[in-house]
Amino acid sequence: QVQLVESGGGLVQAGGSLRVSCVASGRTFSSVAMGWFRQAPGKEREFVASIGWSGRTTYYVDSVKGRFTISRDNAKNTVYLQMNSLKPEDTAIYYCAAARAGAITTVEDQYVYWGQGTQVTVSS
């Protein structure tokens, strides 16, 4: 069993930055890929970024490439999402998730554990 707890969301003006964090419990954290997803009001949850078990591989949805950076610290059982140049359309609840295996994946069904989410609001 893995429990994920996100933190670091908040309100920021367009063009600003935020870093959200996700702390995982359980011994399997360092062996699985991690991902960030988001869900905006009235929309379906969408993939944002994924990082492989070692941290050497990452993948982003096109809309955040060059602005967001996913990273992880396996010693701290923590995954981060650094968000720069934020836009109002980035407003959403951000969820971290732990995958079944170590390789990065954009497929929601491949993630088996989910956090409760943290709200990110970007004002124009």
**If the chain, 124 residues long, is cut into consecutive pieces of 10 residues, what is the mean pLDDT of each piece?**
93 98 90 97 97 97 98 97 98 97 96 97 97
Residue indicated by tokens 């359309």: 89
26: tokens are 């359980």
Query: Which pLDDT score, from 0 to 100, does residue 2 have?
Result: 86
Alpha-carbon distance of 7 to 80, in angstroms, equals 10
Maximum Cα interatomic distance, the chain, rounded to a whole number of Å: 41
Query: Which pLDDT score, from 0 to 100, does residue 27 have?
Result: 77
Alpha-carbon distance of 111 to 105, in angstroms, equals 9
Alpha-carbon distance of 44 to 16, in angstroms, equals 25
Alpha-carbon distance of 122 to 34, in angstroms, equals 24
